[in-house]
């Protein structure tokens, strides 16, 4: 039995969950199609999802297509929950990108398609809602080619658009115009095929089907289907495309076990359940398993997905997705067994907002922390952190809807009423130059039994933090090196201005320690022996001294905006964009409509959203997506510190050692 792990992705309200219901119905898994509006779909199982009519958490459901088991993963469409999509991407064999035939290409559609192509995930495009008023064929195809990718081929034509009788008629092999278009598209990506076509057109025709499948599976081209998840129009043709064009899992069950965790949830007894995709090998119940950095655990239960539900099994093999129990310290993103090269790579921008969360009842502080810790298990990007100085708890967010969902989840699942502060923009710091510092054991002012030197240098954009050694790895115990590296990452969460420091290389230049000593009675003497704690506590002081030498530049998130508005409102809008520090590009005219793109600081987007309707007679449509980080000009924002402040040696030592 072959396995296809298939993701369904879309901008919110494109009909992604409705399409999932239609596919399950066509496969015979369900007898009746659920409705998002009625809150009875298979994959929107959370009460909050049913109330809001949106997908918040990714969900897995399985069905069969001939000899292939399809594990279908329904993902959120709202941009505030892009982190859920992020975690799913690494476990997919293929994807269906859903687009509304009415709204066409939207901001999230661009982000998703760009990421799918970068990761090389084979993708079919399904244009949904052809039965809705305002549905279009040519306009949507042109939009896909212009805004997503020109490497597309329409798999058929439509009729009776905008009515309940709307349908999709697939092209067949006898359609010369379709064959010519396909040959031309295939030749763009395959020089050998182009040469064969030039030499013998009939040979190209004979190779057509095989080359088509090959290029789809290489993510070089994307077939486009039209239809309606509500009426079922075009969905059988999409199913045929899924079965014939997308690749199934290709892995070696005899290879070392390798898997990736993309979702964590809690069971009825509050135990952790890890959703994992197996890439190679085989895992049995009661087997001891290494995962994460240095964790191990025994798998006490395995469930795999089959025909709309999950079934208990004694093992899980390459290609399958399953639920694993018994791994108490497991986290989202952990590699199980052998790690993969792309493990941990982030494909979407991190959250750009942060807020302070407070319980309405001060007596709930402890309970709130426990609840938020469980939410962070499911979504590490909320980046839960505690400011001990101000007794405040902070979260990172993608948007205000995510804040509302967290608030309602805490009330429904934990009985905690909370309030939030106004969201503020998250900036980052990058080293402006290079800096180095070191401290020697038993020499003032170093109070720790450790010798440590660190150098920090700028690195290319988006590299994160890279830790290197210029000392011999055997010069001291491995635990001491690990303590330094962990402390480097923890310390750089707050730079000179309080923002996280990124895109830098930290190199260890000096090392030294005192070996384990015992007192006269053979008892370990900490005052004469170095410990990992000495290196962990010294690292922030040395690293911040080096960072002060290097200096940092503060960067703010910048968004790319897309505005569609009446042509005569473009002129009056320009002064507003100037006051918001936006950088508009040359507008494009399409009849009486003006299309304007540009960049705007994330902190100013909300004001643009509020004022755009009044300046465009309510006809302006605004979309935005993360573009880049840009240096802040003018006054540098400072984020209050929530650590022991290694920038102030006296304050730091007072907290760490209880003395100066």
Cis peptide bond N-terminal to 236, omega within 30: no
Q: Do 494 and 426 contact (CB within 8 A), yes or no? A: no
> Using one digit for the tens of pLDDT, what is the confidence trace for 10-66?
988 888 888 998 998 888 888 777 666 555 565 555 555 556 566 777 888 888 888
pLDDT cut 70: percent of the chain above it: 91
Q: Specify whether 17 is located in the same domain as 143.
A: yes
Which pLDDT score, from 0 to 100, does residue 310 have? 81
Q: Is the pLDDT of residue 292 over 80?
A: no
> Using one digit for the tens of pLDDT, what is the confidence trace for 610-656?
899 999 988 888 888 888 999 998 889 999 888 889 999 999 999 88
Q: Specify whether 478 is located in the same domain as 580.
A: no
pLDDT-derived band at 251, boundaries 50, 70, 90: low
pLDDT-derived band at 74, boundaries 50, 70, 90: confident
Start-to-end CA span in the chain (Å):
67
Average pLDDT on 329-339 reads: 84
Q: Specify whether 412 is located in the same domain as 528.
A: no
Strands 593-601 and 588-590, sheet pairing: antiparallel
Q: Specify whether 11 is located in the same domain as 101.
A: yes
Extract the tokens encoding 377.
Answer: 């298990």
Domain end, chosen from 190, 219, 245, is at 245
> Containing domain of residue 566, as a range?
556-631
Identify whether 461 is part of a domain: yes
Which pLDDT score, from 0 to 100, does residue 204 have? 59
* 46-55, 254-263, 570-579: least confident range: 46-55
Q: Is the pLDDT of residue 343 over 70?
A: no
> Using one digit for the tens of pLDDT, what is the confidence trace for 206-225?
678 888 999 999 999 999 99
Extract the tokens encoding 71.
Answer: 């594990």
Distance separating alpha carbons of residues 401 and 393, to the nearest angstrom: 19
The string of DSSP codes covering 479-512 is HHHHHHHHHHHHHTTS-TTSSEE-SEEEEEEEEE
Q: Do 29 and 61 contact (CB within 8 A), yes or no? A: yes
Distance separating alpha carbons of residues 173 and 212, to the nearest angstrom: 12
Q: Specify whether 92 is located in the same domain as 19.
A: yes
The total number of structural domains that make up the chain = 5
Identify whether 14 is part of a domain: yes
pLDDT cut 90: percent of the chain above it: 53
pLDDT-derived band at 118, boundaries 50, 70, 90: confident
Average pLDDT on 538-543 reads: 98
Q: Is the pLDDT of residue 493 over 80?
A: yes
The string of DSSP codes covering 332-379 is TT-EEESPPTTTT---SPPP-EEEEEEESSGGGHHHHHHHHHHHHHH-
Identify whether 534 is part of a domain: yes
More confidently predicted of 534 and 87: 534
Which pLDDT score, from 0 to 100, does residue 37 have? 52
Identify whether 646 is part of a domain: no
Residue 562 sits in a domain whose CATH number is 3.30.70.240
* 246-255, 477-486, 632-641: least confident range: 246-255
Q: Is the pLDDT of residue 546 over 60?
A: yes
Q: Specify whether 119 is located in the same domain as 209.
A: yes
Q: Specify whether 102 is located in the same domain as 235.
A: yes
Residue in 462, 349, 372, 410 with CA at minimum distance from that of residue 83: 349
Identify whether 654 is part of a domain: no
* 50-64, 213-227, 391-405, 573-587: least confident range: 50-64
Identify whether 642 is part of a domain: no
Distance separating alpha carbons of residues 142 and 126, to the nearest angstrom: 15
Residue 330 sits in a domain whose CATH number is 2.40.30.10
Q: Specify whether 231 is located in the same domain as 173.
A: yes
Which pLDDT score, from 0 to 100, does residue 294 have? 74
Residue 484 sits in a domain whose CATH number is 3.30.230.10
Identify whether 658 is part of a domain: no
> Using one digit for the tens of pLDDT, what is the confidence trace for 355-367?
999 999 999 999 9
Identify whether 576 is part of a domain: yes
Distance separating alpha carbons of residues 187 and 182, to the nearest angstrom: 8
């Amino acid at each position: 039995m072959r396995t296809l792990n298939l993701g369904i992705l879309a901008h919110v309200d494109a009909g992604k969950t409705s399409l999932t219901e239609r596919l399950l119905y066509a496969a015979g898994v369900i007898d009746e199609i659920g409705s998002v509006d009625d809150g009875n779909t298979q994959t929107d199982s959370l009460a909050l999802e049913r109330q809001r009519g949106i997908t918040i958490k990714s969900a897995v459901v399985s069905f069969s297509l001939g000899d292939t088991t399809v594990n279908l993963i329904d993902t959120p469409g709202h941009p505030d929950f892009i982190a859920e999509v992020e975690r799913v991407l690494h476990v997919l064999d293929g994807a269906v990108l859903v687009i509304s035939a009415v709204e066409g290409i939207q901001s999230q559609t661009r982000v998703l398609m760009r990421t799918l192509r970068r990761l090389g995930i084979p993708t079919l495009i399904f244009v949904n809602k052809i039965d809705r008023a305002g549905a279009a064929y040519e306009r949507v195809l042109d939009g896909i080619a212009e805004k997503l990718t020109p490497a597309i081929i329409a798999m058929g034509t439509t009729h009776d658009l905008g009515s309940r009788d709307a349908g999709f008629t697939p092209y067949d092999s006898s359609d010369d115009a379709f064959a010519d278009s396909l040959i031309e598209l295939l030749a763009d990506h395959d020089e050998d095929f182009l040469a064969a076509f030039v030499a013998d057109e009939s040979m190209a025709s004979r190779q057509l089907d095989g080359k088509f499948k090959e290029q789809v599976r290489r993510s070089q081209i994307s077939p486009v289907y039209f239809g309606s998840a509500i009426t079922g129009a075009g969905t059988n043709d999409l199913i045929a495309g899924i079965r014939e064009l997308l690749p199934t899992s290709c892995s070696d069950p005899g290879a070392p076990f390798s898997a990736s965790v993309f979702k964590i949830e809690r069971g009825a007894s509050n135990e952790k359940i890890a959703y994992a995709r197996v890439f190679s090998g085989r895992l049995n119940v009661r087997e001891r398993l290494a995962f994460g950095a240095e964790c191990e655990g025994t798998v006490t239960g395995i469930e795999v997905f089959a025909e709309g539900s999950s079934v208990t099994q004694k093992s899980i093999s390459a290609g399958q997705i399953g639920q694993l129990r018994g791994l108490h310290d497991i986290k989202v993103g952990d590699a199980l067994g052998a790690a993969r090269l792309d493990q941990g790579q982030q494909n979407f921008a991190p959250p750009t907002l942060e807020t302070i969360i407070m319980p309405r009842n001060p007596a709930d502080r402890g309970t709130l922390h426990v609840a938020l810790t469980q939410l962070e298990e499911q979504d590490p990007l909320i980046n839960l952190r505690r400011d001990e100085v101000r007794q405040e708890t902070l979260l990172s967010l993608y948007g205000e809807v995510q804040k509302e969902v967290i608030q309602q989840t805490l009330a429904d699942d934990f009985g905690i009423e909370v309030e939030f502060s106004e969201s503020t923009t998250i900036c980052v710091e990058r080293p402006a130059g290079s800096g180095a510092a070191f401290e020697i054991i038993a020499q003032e002012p170093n109070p720790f039994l450790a010798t440590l030197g660190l150098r920090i240098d700028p690195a290319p954009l988006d590299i994160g933090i890279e830790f290197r050694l210029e000392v011999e790895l055997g010069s001291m115990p491995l635990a001491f090196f690990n303590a330094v590296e962990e402390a480097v990452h923890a310390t750089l969460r707050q730079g000179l201005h309080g923002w996280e420091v990124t895109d830098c290389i930290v190199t260890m230049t000096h090392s030294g320690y005192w070996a384990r000593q015992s007192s006269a009675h053979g008892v370990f003497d900490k005052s004469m022996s170095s410990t990992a704690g000495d290196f962990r506590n010294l690292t922030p002081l040395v690293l911040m001294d080096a960072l002060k030498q290097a200096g940092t530049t503060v960067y703010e998130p910048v968004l790319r905006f897309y505005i569609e508005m009446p042509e005569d409102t473009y002129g009056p809008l320009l002064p507003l964009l100037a006051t918001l520090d936006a950088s508009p590009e040359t507008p494009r005219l399409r009849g009486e409509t003006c299309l304007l793109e540009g960049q705007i600081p994330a902190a100013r987007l909300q004001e643009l959203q509020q004022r755009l309707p009044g300046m465009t007679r309510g006809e302006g449509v605004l979309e935005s997506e993360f573009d880049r980080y840009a240096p802040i000009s003018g006054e540098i924002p400072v984020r209050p510190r929530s650590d022991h402040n290694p920038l102030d040696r006296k304050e730091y030592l007072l907290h760490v050692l209880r003395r100066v």
